[in-house]
Amino acid sequence: MNGVMEFLRTTGGLLGLFIETLYWCKSAISNSDKVFAQLYIIGNQTLPVGALIALFSGGVLALQAGPTLAQFGLEENVGGLVGLSLAKEIGPIMASILIAGRVGSAMAAELASMSVYEEIDALKTMDINPVRYLVMPRFIAMVLALPVLVIYMDVIGWFGGGLVALVNPEVHLSLDVYYRNLSELVDFVAVVNGLIKAMFFGVIISIVCCYVGLKTKGGPREIGYSVTKAVVMSFVLVLVSDYYITRILLFLNID
């Protein structure tokens, strides 16, 4: 019973924070400096690691699929397979997990620390709304940054796949053939499909991490618990919602 109550309370809290954050988006322009500061943090923390992850993920896709396709004489389709997998699924999921792990955890830790050390209370006493001041800039920055990161990782992943398809003796596909097949199969809608998912994941990660951080009470131990909770909850919600978003996108023919 306590678990059910806790689930309902958390769900209500997340929805409440989401609605309040949407309301405060009206102040985005006057708080653009805070949004850009968050964008800078996100870019700084994710671009180098994102490139590395994407390069090897694209590579491993080509490594796994290439020889199998080659057995049936279909190795020319490696480009399309890697391209579509990255654009529709692996790109948004990888970018979301990277952002949740690197940026979401830092957000949760920062807000949890601010809650524990009375900084959130100090904001309230100064009549500064914590959602406007802290959550809204993080929310907007993440919703904007995640799709951009997905495009960035897609392109690097496609390159990684092409490189492996070229050097792997079992596939040995020229880059020209690889990219021709990729560009035939990966159309604009496939990329948009991944970007829509990325935006939803950005909403989930920013709201979950900020909510868990703001609700933290206690001391340093609770800050640690909150960070773990925020990251795990983000992962689970991203992966579960991915299925339902995919269903909705299929229904809407954005596929």
Partner 1 sequence: MERKIEEQESNTTLLGAVTSEQNGRTGSVLLDYLKCAAVGLKIDNINRSFGDNHVLRGVNLNIEPGETVVILGKSGSGKSVLMRHIIGLECPDTGRIFVAGEDINDPEFKRNHVLAMVFQSSALFNSLTVSENVALYLREHKIFTEESRIKEIVSSALEIVGLQGKEDEMPSEISGGMKRRVAVARALVMNPEVILFDEPTAGLDPMMTRTIGDLICDLKHQIQITQIVVTHDIDLAFYVADRIAILSEGRILEVGTPDQIRSSTNSGVIDFIKPQFA
Rg (CA), the chain: 21
Given 4, 5, 125, 217, the residue binding partner 1 (CB under 8 A): 125
> Tokens representing 1?
């019973």
Nearest 5°: the CA angle 220, 123, 219 is: 10
CA end-to-end span of the chain, whole Å?
41
DSSP assignment letter at 61: H
Footprint on residues 210-249 left by partner 1 (CB under 8 A): none
User: How far, in whole angstroms, is CA 17 from its chain's centroid?
Assistant: 19
Using CB under 8 A as the binding rule, whether residue 126 contacts partner 1 is answered as yes
| Residues 58-97: x where in contact with partner 1 by CB under 8 A, - otherwise, as a string | ----------------------------------------
| Residues 131-170: x where in contact with partner 1 by CB under 8 A, - otherwise, as a string | --x-------------------------------------
Using CB under 8 A as the binding rule, whether residue 1 contacts partner 1 is answered as no
Given 11, 32, 121, 170, the residue binding partner 1 (CB under 8 A): 121
Count the residues of the shown chain that bind partner 1, applying the rule CB under 8 A.
14
d(CA 33, CA 174): 46
> Tokens representing 158?
């496609």
Using CB under 8 A as the binding rule, whether residue 179 contacts partner 1 is answered as no
Cα within 13 Å of Cα(23), Cβ side = 10
Using CB under 8 A as the binding rule, whether residue 26 contacts partner 1 is answered as no
d(CA 179, CA 189): 18
Using CB under 8 A as the binding rule, whether residue 119 contacts partner 1 is answered as yes
Binding interface with partner 1 (CB under 8 A): 110, 113-114, 117-119, 121-122, 124-128, 133
